[in-house]
Amino acid sequence: MASKVQIHVGNVPVGGGAPVALQSMTLTKTHDVPATTAQIAALASAGCEIVRVAVPKNEDAAALPLIVRLSPIPVIADIHFNASLALKAIDAGVAAVRINPGNIGGPDKVEQVVTAAKKAGIAMRIGANSGSLPKHLESLAQKDQAEALVVAALEEVELLEKLDYREFKISVKATHVPTMIRAYRMLASKVPYPLHLGVTEAGTEFAGGIKSAVGIGTLLADGIGDTLRVSLTADPVKEIEVAWEILKALGLRERGPVMIACPSCGRDNVGVESLALVVEERLRSYSEAVEVAVMGCAVNGPGEAGDADFGIAGGRDVGFIYAHGRVLKKVSSETLVDELFVEIDRWLADGMKRPKRLKMAKPAALAMAEASLIPLGDS
Ligand code: SF4
């Protein structure tokens, strides 16, 4: 199911077993070079690996050479209806163009763009979108939008294959999550090319993030998808934050700490929500992939958080620090967070060695018995 073909968007491999690459799109007017490059820099700092910019006008195409030069990550030019803008973008040195071969002006124009892309050695993203299916597929779309998306994409694939061009990735985005999932599954069974995943027009940060996580996450869990964009009506940096959380949740990529926190319940002795926020804030300054659990009580905490690298379990006056499935320390509640970070820093300085672990988390009762033998503050 995973794509067999690998392409390159600039220096980023996409497909063929490469790590799933994250992308986003700038919201600025592309011809406003300072604003566009500032947004690209913010995206790159957040972990964006490929950036797409809209190129609706000549002035946007004219800005591309400088944007490409200043961007720390590969730039894709997003172009619709205008082959000459695509040719200008290729001349400007973009790493790829996103076009819809169905609306770029006919087979001759597609051939011109493909010839230029081949000559420049760059990639292309093609594919259909539920909002812009070609007219001849309208009745099929009414019956089955997922199938119409796949047929539209396959028509584009056929066109490019006839031109002996295969350096492309494909998207079949839909706003309806089940449709999008079905379309990508169908497409993945039919083509060897890399797939670009996304739920289009997903919405605002909260609802759109959830829709994207469900749609994109379901496919990634099936092994489908090589690159993705979380489309949010929000600052694009949020798109990258959500995208990383999706990849981290599936264990596909690592970036920075992962925090686990219990949802709290009537056994919460410590106010786990505020404790978790404090730990989360302190973890922001770490780039290492350390997994930290924050648990509200020492009764279930040790068992529930047994898989994390580190954990804390709150108590009324004392709290426990866990490391790699074992109780490490019992400390006063006031110093719990500070002591946790002392242990994390020590482990990082020692080279992040993960000791062999029991398969099952240590039963809470056993951990508690062990913990009760440790005097307060003993390290
Ligand atoms: S760790 Fe304790 S407080 Fe948190 S949900 Fe589990 S039982 Fe409740």
Cα 63 to the center of its chain, rounded Å: 28
Show the ligand 1 pocket: residues with CB < 6 angstroms. Answer: 262-265, 267-268, 272, 295-297, 299-301, 304
pLDDT tens across 313-360, in order? 887 788 889 898 788 888 998 899 999 999 999 999 999 988 876 544
Q: What's the mean pLDDT in 189-215? A: 95
Point out the ligand 1 atom lying closest to the alpha carbon of residue 295. 1
Point out the ligand 1 atom lying closest to the alpha carbon of residue 298. 2
**Rg (alpha carbons) of the chain, rounded to whole number:** 25
The per-residue pLDDT for 269 is 78
Structural domains of the chain, ranges and CATH numbers in brackets: 7-249 (3.20.20.20), 258-372 (3.30.413.10)
The per-residue pLDDT for 302 is 67
The per-residue pLDDT for 357 is 62
Distance 310 CA to ligand 1 centre (A): 16
Partners of 203 in the β-ladder? none
Contact 206, 17 (CB under 8 A): no
Q: What DSSP designation does 215 have?
A: H
Point out the ligand 1 atom lying closest to the alpha carbon of residue 297. 2
Query: Is 365 a residue whose pLDDT tops 80?
Result: no
- Token look-up 């496919």 returns 219
Contact 269, 333 (CB under 8 A): no
pLDDT tens across 28-45, in order? 999 999 999 999 999 999
Point out the ligand 1 atom lying closest to the alpha carbon of residue 299. 2
Distance 272 CA to ligand 1 centre (A): 9
Q: How confident is the model at residue 370 (pLDDT cuts 50, 70, 90)?
A: low
Least confident residue range of 169-173, 267-271, 288-292: 267-271
Contact 64, 78 (CB under 8 A): no
Contact 304, 286 (CB under 8 A): no
The per-residue pLDDT for 379 is 44
The per-residue pLDDT for 371 is 62
Distance 324 CA to ligand 1 centre (A): 19
- Token look-up 């934050």 returns 241
Distance 298 CA to ligand 1 centre (A): 8
What's this model's pTM, rounded to 2 decimal places?
A: 0.87
Contact 153, 187 (CB under 8 A): yes
Cα–Cα distance measured from residue 51 to residue 167, given in angstroms and rounded to the nearest whole number: 18
